[in-house]
Amino acid sequence: MSDWVILGEWTEFAVRWLHVITAIAWIGSSFYFIALDLGLHRDRKLESGADGEQWQVHGGGFYHVQKYLVAPERLPGDVIWFNWESHWTWMSGFALLVLVYYLGADLYLVDPNILDIPVWQAILLSLASLALGWVLYDGLCKSRLGEDTTLLMVVLFLVLVAISWGYTQVFSGRAALLHLGAFTATIMTANVFLIIMPNQRLVVADLVAGRRPDAKYGKIAKQRSTHNNYLTLPVIFLMLSNHYPLAFASRWNWLIAALVFLMGVTIRHWFNTHHARKGNPHWTWAVTAVLFLVIVWLSTLQRPLPDGEARLSAAESRFASAAGIENVESIVLGRCSMCHAAEPAYEGIHWAPKGVRLETRADIAVNARAIYVQAGLTHAMPPANVSYIEDAERAAIVAWYRAASARGG
> Would you say how long the chain is, in residues?
409
State how far the Cα of 25 lies from the Cα of 269, in Å rounded to an integer: 22
pLDDT tens column, 12-21 = 999 999 999 9
Q: How confident is the model at residue 1 (pLDDT cuts 50, 70, 90)?
A: very low
More reliable by pLDDT, 69 or 129: 129
State how far the Cα of 282 lies from the Cα of 71, in Å rounded to an integer: 39
* Average pLDDT score over residue span 170-177: 94
pLDDT tens column, 330-339 = 999 999 999 9
Alpha helices by DSSP H, listed for 57-118, are: 84-97
- Which pLDDT score is estimated for 78? 79
Q: Which residues pair with 250 in a beta bridge?
A: 302
H or E element that contains 365: helix 361-366
Cβ atoms of 51 and 44 within 8 Å: the answer is: no
Residue 280 has pLDDT above 50, yes or no: yes
